Chain A
């Protein structure tokens, strides 16, 4: 096999050196009944060229990304990825290494994690960030578990405007522990309802969960939510699943959030049909010992040289076993590196410009789509790069008709919100130029 370096002759030599005659003898400790008496039923091995051709053909059964206009968000966003990102993460010193257990020969990974932790703290306006979690949805599950440990309470109030899949994942991770997630209905304008939330929060509540911008793209009043949570002694968890918004919006930590977590896929990680993405979590410093996942800290060697190490490992499964704050081991290392490089490349001004460009496109789209007869923006008020458009008719058939013309008109909301049959959730990033937005408007007008 082409990935194995030893020749048949060398393997015979090795066998002889350990006193065996054939390879079957290597497996004598496996009871004979359990040894397969036939080859696995798998396709014949493919040469590299055939393999590439096969996968290329398969990839072409997907929508051609160069011949379509896609306006999908909903937790995954198509953003431009500067060439330097893929170039640098393709260095095998990075991608062919593992968790930096040996700091003397892993300073590259360790220092980039330290930089990532700092960038996430700066974006969220919080004190401490971990080295990544699997994705935004499981990060919410971990955040709820953190609040449960910190507050020793079992109720969680979550605004209905949090990503529905995040709430489902969080429930899978926590429901069997007796943790109850109570969904709080939104106001007619698509924002969390502060009065309803305030009345649901009580002395049993571990956390209040909101999302900024929320699932409908609307901007929540984080400060009001923080005040309500504080009054009940609950932690405020703010979910962010469009990281680019933080180029423009306040870091939720500065508005009173105790935990900011979510999805950082927007920072240089390709869409890749839903993963691998990049979960993150930042907290106030008083919760650092409750954090799940890896953490990197600064250290010194005997000569006083500064370096970086995995630290506070007594929270983790390899030390604490069942008493660990989480079972996570392998996380999203290379996606974290991509995000660090992306954020360093964009920099302070680039992040601002990027966020403003997203806002400008969405606002332009809002203005022309709302002018189509029968269409309207049902949830009035500020949004970032995503908003809900209501059609005069059921959205799904229109959505399908546009797909035939190479236009993906966002996400019909009825799958998640059965009452919203006429609504589309549309996202606009810097990858959707004026021409594409005009094409969407024309397409909609003709389909209606």
Chain B
């Protein structure tokens, strides 16, 4: 193996390479009961082949070292557009771990879980008020599962009128989950083009709208950070054609407390609690994607639903038109606790201040970088701003180079190459969780990188220079995938 060209942080070997026979990290409490007669050998294994054997000390050191190879939101600015990487309040972690919640088995009788049920009922009420909808389900485990749940309800609604219809209309700026969810629900996806402002082209929507369209899936503000200002008319056009409007609430952070999707004409929406409501992104989940509907769709909501009873709360499953279950038990309850605590900590004024500050921060970044970086859409910016690499092309520098170089300056890069309608997109969402010093430091770094592109593009092509590892060859990794450790793979660092 070649020697490191630059000294970097010592890398950490795999668990399996550190394993030594006979070690253990944890003992099991004695039963005080007689040993069981062994099960028939046709059911049992001799051992779990290859399973690691480590002491507790080594496990702790291994994962602590791994953690230091990660960049989290608590370590620094994380402007990953469309992901709303806001601060995760620490008290939320504490309350989610209270024994009464953390040790509650989901199949306990209702009278033994009244605290959980009350929290769920109140959470539904809060979300109805915040989103302007009539009813919510808390079952979906993430945004994409929320989309699937919402579109399944749309389908059930059309089926109840005699025809599920065939097409889901989705703007070309949408997240990939939208078309994937629509397809999973048995619909054909048709893209509708954006106009020069980055919004849905109303004329083509009018022309396209007909009886085969089940629903329009719209993200508002859209992935360009632009508010669909014709949303009222868009909803009227779709409704007039007998279709429904699904509003993807992934970007609710832009106007929470300022406006409500339900008031704009949405029939179904989902909300990502791990975005607007501050629950940790966890390195890729768990999230939570509650879905809200207007009254006519409420009979299709997943079961069980929490309802008020004479005494306290209970679950009800006797809704014959329900689409059924989308998750075992009741969804990601532990995430609901955190989001509930966030809403209570903020109150109405606090949530409005969240939206105001998030939009203010995005506009400040736009102001500072406009001119240096190409701004493909001049429409007013809400919570995120999208630049492109067009001004850097002449130096042979691309968005990916800018992203990698930002790491050397101590920042997590923005979302890159999305939305797809912007070539070489850099999608910056600062959220409300950054102050002016951090915003300025980031903008300064971006401007310096643009200067480097002009003076020394090589330094960008070879970036990052300060990370534990350089750019990895992803194409080679996909050609001959190695997806697990095997004994012949051992490579002690």
Contact = CB atoms under 8 A, between A and B. Distances in A.
A96 B32 CA distance: 42
B51 A356 contact: no
B45 A3 contact: no
B43 A249 contact: yes
Contact of B34 (A169, A344, A364): A364
A29 B379 contact: yes
Given A90-B93, A93-B70, A361-B31, A42 B283 contact: no
Contact of A134 (B66, B99, B142): B142
A63 B101 CA distance: 9
Contacts of B294: none
Interface stretch (A4-12, A152-160, A189-197, A202-210): A4-12
Given A42-B351, A114-B485, A129-B484, A311 B477 contact: yes
Of B35, B40, B71, B485, most A-chain CB atoms within 10 Å? B71
A195 B67 CA distance: 52
B53 interface: yes
B483 interface: yes
Contacts of A326: 180, 184
A36 B258 contact: yes
Contacts of A258: none
A5 B437 CA distance: 10
B47 to A, nearest CB: 6
A271 B102 contact: yes
Interface string A250-291: 110010000000010000001111111100000000001000
Contacts of A272: 96, 101-102, 104, 333-334
A104 B14 CA distance: 17
B305 interface: no
Nearest to A1: B350
B178 to A, nearest CB: 8
Given A3-B433, A105-B412, A359-B36, A72 B108 contact: yes
A100 to B, nearest CB: 7
B280 interface: yes
B51 A351 contact: yes
B139 to A, nearest CB: 9
Interface in A306-365: 306-309, 311-314, 316-324, 326-337, 341, 343-354, 356-357, 359-364
Interface string A109-141: 101101101110111000111011011111000
Contacts of A364: 31, 33-34, 36
Contact of A169 (B285, B325, B415, B489): B325
Given A304-B1, A430-B29, A39 B180 contact: no
A93 B68 contact: yes
Of A108, A354, A399, most B-chain CB atoms within 10 Å? A108
Contacts of B108: 62-63, 70, 72, 408
B164 to A, nearest CB: 8
A344 B181 CA distance: 35
Given A29-B382, A34-B263, A348-B51, A17 B367 contact: yes
A63 B483 contact: no
B470 A303 contact: yes
Contact of B334 (A44, A270, A316): A270
Interface in B275-297: 278, 280-288
Interface stretch (A52-60, A229-237, A440-448): A52-60
Contacts of B436: 6, 10, 13-14
A31 interface: yes
Given A132-B285, A312-B478, 14 more contacts: A35-B258, A39-B352, A58-B118, A90-B93, A97-B78, A102-B407, A129-B483, A138-B327, A273-B116, A298-B477, A305-B470, A318-B418, A330-B286, A347-B51
Contacts of A66: 99
A76 B31 contact: no
B107 A411 contact: yes
Contacts of A294: 284
Contact of A97 (B70, B89, B469): B70
B274 interface: yes
A321 B180 contact: yes
A377 to B, nearest CB: 15
A308 B465 CA distance: 18
Smallest CB-CB A-B distances: 4 pairs: A274-B329, A59-B100, A334-B282, A274-B106
Contact of B284 (A313, A331, A343): A331
B491 A306 contact: yes
Of B328, B343, B433, B489, most A-chain CB atoms within 10 Å? B328
B33 A28 contact: no
Interface stretch (B355-363, B386-394, B450-458): B355-363
Contacts of B464: 104-105
B185 interface: yes
Interface string B453-493: 00000000000100111111110111001111100010100
B181 A275 contact: no
A300 B177 contact: no
A360 B34 contact: yes
Contact of B141 (A29, A54, A138): A138
B332 interface: yes
Nearest to A31: B229
Contact of B143 (A263, A329, A350, A363): A329
